[in-house]
Amino acid sequence: MISTILNIDKDQGITSTNVDKQVKKITGAKKIGHVGTLDPLATGVLPVFMGQATRLINFMNDKTKEYQCDFELGLRSDTYDLEGEITKVQNKVFVSLEVLNSVISSFIGNSFQIPPKYSSVKYKGKRSYNLVRKGIEFSLEPKSIYIEDIKIIETNIPFVSLVVKCHEGVYIRSLINDIGEKLKCGAVLTKLRRIRSGIFSIDSAISIQHSTNDHWKMHTIPIDYLINHLPKLNTSNDEKYKLITGQTTNIKYSEIKLPDQALVRCYDNENTFIGIAKYDETNDIFLPHKMFLQVTK
């Protein structure tokens, strides 16, 4: 069974789910999933997990995301981007660079953001975009977000380009809409590219077009790459057997002092990743937490 990760550079115009389907068809993977859904308009980093790798998705330690985005002032959209119904607010936008900088900088740090109604956010168990399309009136609650940094990389009013570094949960469409509202002239997202998602960057991403004819095999990422932040534990054959068969083992770990309930990534004597174990400080033993290797003694 295929168990690996591909860092896909998503093309514009397709959904993240369709990327999963295409990767599944190309690789023959039985189980597949991605981290961090991108809108159809957006391009860039979309990590796709196959087989056993899907069991490690929740172990992503670094959830910081980085985006390059373009927007146009003087417009509004019901979807906050070019896919919605566009209305012109101002024929000519008069915004100084000083004011623009001040407004954009005000969004750095902790704040609350209302997600776009045209999104997969759920309202009373229903996807909000489905409710909008049915003409149902509703209001989404503001969500706590954190934006680490925003840099203006180009301005030619009404056109502005930014790089946004943020934690998960931030909607760049909503950010651009909020910037436009604060400037009192409106703003619409015109281009969005994710250049980093946690440990995955655009530099190592490959397009679907370059994944055919087994070319994807040259770009696979080992599943334990995702948990490199965990301490490493080497095991003997007997210790490995105990862990993968659900037994505890009292391996002596001398690298660092482990706190109680610490997770470690385990390897056999051939340096093959076998899974994740949890340390029980009281009894000085390791318990199997999430095992991936299935072998006989």
CATH 3.30.2350.10 fits 4-61+199-225, yes or no: yes
Band (210; pLDDT cuts 50, 70, 90)? confident
- 293 or 38: whose pLDDT is higher? 38
> How buried is 163 (Cβ within 10 angstroms: 0-12 exposed, 13-18 middle, 19+ buried)?
middle
Condensed to tens digits (0 to 9), the pLDDT of residues 42-79 reads 999 999 999 999 999 888 878 899 999 999 999 999 99
For residues 296 and 244, give the distance between their C-alpha atoms in angstroms, rounded to a whole number. Answer: 9
Model pLDDT, residue 67:
98
- d(CA 72, CA 87) in angstroms, rounded, equals 12
Nearest to 186 by CA among 118, 95, 83: 95
Q: Above 70 in pLDDT, residue 12?
A: yes
Q: CA nearest 72: which of 190, 193, 153?
A: 190
Percent of the residues in the chain that have a pLDDT greater than 90, as a whole number: 75
Would you say residue 296 has pLDDT above 60? Answer: no
230-291: same fold as 4-61+199-225? no
pLDDT digits over 167-209, tens only? 999 999 999 999 999 999 999 999 999 999 999 999 999 998 8
Cα separation, 261 vs 287, in Å, equals 9
Q: Is the predicted pLDDT of residue 227 greater than 80, yes or no? A: yes
> Is the distance from CB of 46 to CB of 12 less than 8 angstroms?
no
pLDDT at 297: 42
Measured at the CA of 158, the angle between CA 155 and CA 162, to 5 degrees, comes to 40
Annotated active-site positions, please? 39
Burial 226-258 (b: 16+ CB within 10 A, else e): bbeebeebebeeebbbbbbeeeebebebeeeeb
Q: Topology of domain 230-291, per CATH?
A: 2.30.130
- What was the pLDDT predicted at 294? 63
Give, in words, the CATH class of 65-194.
alpha beta
Q: Which pLDDT tens digit goes with each residue over 84-95?
A: 999 988 888 999
Whether the predicted pLDDT of 295 surpasses 60: no
Annotated domain spans of the chain: 4-61+199-225, 65-194, 230-291
Mean pLDDT, residues 110-130 taken together: 90
Residue 134: left if φ>0, alpha if ψ -120 to 50, beta else—which one? alpha
- Whether this model's pTM surpasses 0.85: yes
* Higher-pLDDT residue of 255, 157: 157
* Residue 44 near residue 9 (C-beta atoms within 8 A): yes
**What pLDDT shows up at residue 58?**
87
97: left (phi over 0), alpha (psi -120 to 50) or beta: alpha
Percent of the chain with pLDDT over 70: 98
pLDDT tens track for 121-168: 888 888 898 888 888 989 999 999 999 999 999 999 999 999 999 999
